[in-house]
Amino acid sequence: MKAAELRDKTPDQLRDQLVALKKEAFNLRFQAATNQLENTARQRQVRRDVARVNTILNQKAAEAAAN
């Protein structure tokens, strides 16, 4: 997921995306614990996507506060 794609979304859409990513991260951790995880790189991708969404949300909040 690209940061440019995220910047085009509304804060509500970003929060929904964040919830979905956190659910996916939980499921991946559960699969890893039970040795059912096939793509271990996906954990890293999801963790970084969560951070990226949080960053964009914080930037949008800062812009709103500045205006």
Q: What is the pLDDT of residues 39-59, one digit of tens each?
A: 999 999 999 999 999 999 999
Q: Comparing C-alpha atoms, which of 12, 18, 7 is closest to residue 54?
A: 18
Write down the domain spans for the chain: 3-66
Residue 5 scores a pLDDT above 90: yes
pLDDT at residue number 60: 95
As a CATH number, domain 3-66 is 1.10.287.310
Tokens read off for 37: 């995880």
∠ CA 40-12-51, rounded to 5°: 35
The model's pTM: 0.91
- Residue pair 9/17 in contact by the 8 Å Cβ criterion: yes
